[in-house]
Amino acid sequence: MEPRCAGRSCVRARTGTALVLSAALVLSAGQASGQAGSPAGPVPPQLLAARRAALMGRLGTGVVVVRSAEEREDEAHAQDSSFRQDDDFFYLTGVEEAGSVLVGVADGAGGGRWRLYVPERVPAQEQWTGARLGPGAEAVALTGVADVRAAARVVADAPELLAAGGGAGGALWVGGAAPRSCAVRGAGCMDALVAPFAAGAGGTVAPLGPQLAGLRLMKDADELRRMRQAIAITVAAQREAMGSAAPGQHEYEVEAVIEAAFRRRGAERVGFPSIVGSGPNSTVLHYDANRREMRSGDLVVMDIGAEYGYYTADVTRTIPVTGRFTGRQRAVYDLVLGAQQAAIDSVRPGTTLGRLELIAREYMRANSGTICGGGSCDRFFIHGLSHWLGMDVHDVGSYATTLQPGMVLTVEPGVYLPGESLGVRIEDDVLVTAAGHEVLSAEAPRQAAEVEQLMHAGAAPAAAKR
């Protein structure tokens, strides 16, 4: 085996071989572009341009600096060496190159111009890393940014860009990934890249994240396409897991079924560590060790999400490992399901996440009976009902925001009884529409009888079509 090159930016001192291969590594357009070979494909450049224009419409005069993610310092000691771009940078550019910078100049009238900086190609390195994007026509076509330059020029260009953005009178908006030298994200770090811009802007520096969060809440057509596929893949994995789970297996065996189903259908990553919690682990909200042997009588909480083209799903189902709920398990399950349905039925433009949670809790209080002893089961509902969903599983955006068409949220009540090793959580992904809502994960069985039927019939995976 050849020695491994430690990171994308490494240079292997094999000059002769590098010279022989350098010509072959100059690949055609598309082979070295962002998301090359990804099942999701590239983001349409017209949508990227629309996102950048919408951002400009939120800003006054000033300069926007958005940094890409960086490579790991020590890839050899990382369990997962796959580079993942910063969400905000990808949202605005569709580019996966590390070491890139997007700079925008806002004109104060809702418009402006953009300049993208990407690292230059180095054929000798590409023997180890594969072809890279580089400045040029491919980057222009991919992003819709007409002005693409070498990343090494960004600091030298800072005075020109600041002057175009109003000089000391304009704000500096900083976003994207923080460099390794920074302890905090965004505008809190005056490193060698940001400092020249900050000095020229008179020290007026603001984080870009809150401005972008409002935009990212509203999903455009390509975002919804990616999310629908991520959810379809996750639903198929839930169905396969239901059909395969059995007493005597370990939680990691179910996890393997789930994540194999993800990869077979084009998910390049998990959106978050898969949770397969059985018995006592079903009551631990973010349990992800997945080591326990499942036993007859256990409930199993499977909280999973495939990531497809940078967008993630988040779907939870709770199953009886034997294929049949006990009477006690069924009573708790049906209470959680009823609370979830009450909240889902109330998803529509104009309401809020807080109002939906109140509805779910009111349902539990009215229907708990003696299930949880002398009081309502909602005291064992120990987390929030909903969160935003998108590029992150707990996506950006204020929880006080009023629902509008195009937003995607989760609805996930739960009841957790550690003393009985009994936990139930049911979670679906819901799109807000003009008419109300659409449950994007509806193909994953929710009714107790449906879950039992699928488990006894064996795996019947829903086909996640590309």
> 34 or 362, which is more confident?
362
pLDDT tens-place string over residues 294-352: 999 999 999 999 999 999 999 999 999 999 999 999 999 999 999 999 999 999 999 99
CB 190 within 8 A of CB 179: no
Separation CA 229–CA 222 (nearest Å):
11
Q: Side chain identity at 211, as an amino acid letter?
A: Q
Phi, psi (rounded to 5 degrees) for 189: -120, 120
Residue owning tokens 């990869």: 263
pLDDT tens-place string over residues 46-61: 999 999 999 999 988 8
Where is average pLDDT lowest: 165-169, 192-196, 374-378? 165-169
Give the model's pLDDT for residue 312.
98
Residue 256 half-sphere exposure toward CB, CA atoms < 13 A: 8
**pTM of this prediction?**
0.89
Listed residue (402, 415, 407) closest to 355, CA to CA: 402
Where is average pLDDT lowest: 128-132, 145-149, 301-305, 311-315? 128-132
pLDDT tens-place string over residues 169-223: 678 899 998 877 665 554 556 677 888 887 776 667 889 999 999 999 999 999 9
Separation CA 349–CA 438 (nearest Å):
12
Give the model's pLDDT for residue 198.
78
Give the model's pLDDT for residue 439.
98
Separation CA 147–CA 356 (nearest Å):
46
315-320 vs 299-304, strand pairing mode: antiparallel
Average pLDDT, the chain: 87
Enter the DSSP assignment of 68. Answer: P
Phi, psi (rounded to 5 degrees) for 398: -70, 135
How far is the CA of 170 from the CAs of 129, 161, 459, in angstroms?
A: 40, 11, 59
Separation CA 319–CA 301 (nearest Å):
7
Enter the DSSP assignment of 402. Answer: P
> 229 or 6, which is more confident?
229
pLDDT tens-place string over residues 233-248: 999 999 999 999 999 9
Handedness of CA 152, 154, 155, 157 (dihedral sign): positive
Q: Residue 224 has which token pair?
A: 């919804």
Continuous H helices in 245-399: 251-264, 327-345, 353-367
pLDDT band at residue 161 under the 50/70/90 scheme: confident
Separation CA 340–CA 356 (nearest Å):
9
Give the model's pLDDT for residue 188.
55
Residues in a beta bridge with 427: 316
pLDDT band at residue 62 under the 50/70/90 scheme: confident
Separation CA 119–CA 152 (nearest Å):
7
Report CA dihedral (252, 256, 259, 261) to the nearest 10 degrees.
-140
Quick one: 288 exposed, middle or buried, by C-beta within 10 A (0-12, 13-18, 19+)? middle
Residues in a beta bridge with 438: 431
Residue owning tokens 């560590």: 273
Listed residue (274, 267, 272, 259) closest to 308, CA to CA: 267
Give the model's pLDDT for residue 322.
96
The distance of Cα 321 from the centroid of its chain, to the nearest Å, equals 29
> Is the predicted pLDDT of residue 114 greater than 90, yes or no?
yes
> Is the predicted pLDDT of residue 249 greater than 60, yes or no?
yes
pLDDT tens-place string over residues 404-455: 999 999 999 999 999 999 999 999 999 999 999 999 999 999 999 999 999 9
Listed residue (280, 286, 278, 294) closest to 420, CA to CA: 280
How far is the CA of 27 from the CAs of 31, 33, 330, in angstroms?
A: 6, 10, 59
Give the model's pLDDT for residue 129.
75
Enter the DSSP assignment of 372. Answer: T
15-213 to CATH, choices 3.40.190.150, 3.40.350.10, 3.30.420.130, 3.40.50.300: 3.40.350.10
> Is the predicted pLDDT of residue 21 greater than 70, yes or no?
no
Q: What is the DSSP string of 272-296?
A: S--EEEEGGGGG-TT-----PBP-T
Give the model's pLDDT for residue 197.
81
Continuous H helices in 130-200: 137-143, 154-164, 194-200
CATH of domain 221-457: 3.90.230.10
What 3-state class would DSSP assign to 265? coil
Q: What is the DSSP string of 146-157?
A: S-EEEGGGHHHH
Q: What angle is formed at CA 442 by the lines to CA 438 and CA 445, rounded to 5 degrees?
A: 160
Separation CA 327–CA 116 (nearest Å):
61
Residues in a beta bridge with 302: 276, 317
Domain-by-domain residue ranges, the chain?
A: 15-213, 221-457
Separation CA 297–CA 463 (nearest Å):
30
User: Whats the size of the chain, residue-wise?
Assistant: 466
